[in-house]
Amino acid sequence: MNDIAYDQELDCKGMNCPLPILKTKKQVDTMDEGQVLKMVATDPGSINDMNAWTRRTGHEMLSHNEEGGIYTFYIQKT
């Protein structure tokens, strides 16, 4: 799932709760509808947190995966 096209990228590696969510929200707010954000984090809690965030805000979680302690999320702004 590494071939998803994205418009913007956000590095939240090393950040802990709630910073990845707060930074993601801030960046998504600046984007246009339909654009995709690739967010990378190392916080294991971010899987549940990011899914909760997209469910509440209505943005779409296109895909997420974990590799070697790095969590990658693709979120489409709706």
Partner 1 sequence: MSDQKKMALIASQGTLDWAYPPFILASTAVALDMEVQIFFTFYGLTLLKKEIKAKVAPASNPAMPMKMPFGPKGFQDFDWPMPNVLMGNAPGFETMATSLMKKTFKNKGVASIEELREICVESGVKLIGCQMTMDVFGFDKEEFIDGVDVGGAATFLEFASEADIQLFI
Query: Active-site positions?
Result: 17
Among positions 25-54, residues that touch partner 1 (CB under 8 A) are 25, 43, 52-53
Q: Interface with partner 1 includes 70 (CB under 8 A)?
A: no
The correct pick among 56, 67, 68, 69 for binding partner 1 (CB under 8 A) is: 56
CA distance 26 to 29: 5
Of 3 and 33, nearer to partner 1 (C-beta) is 33
3-class SS letters over the chain: CCCCCCCEEEEECCCCCCHHHHHHHHHHHCCCCCCEEEEEECCCCHHHHHHHHHHHHCCEEEEEEEECCEEEEEEECC
Q: Interface with partner 1 includes 78 (CB under 8 A)?
A: no
Contacts to partner 1 by CB under 8 A: 14-19, 21-22, 24-25, 43, 52-53, 56-57
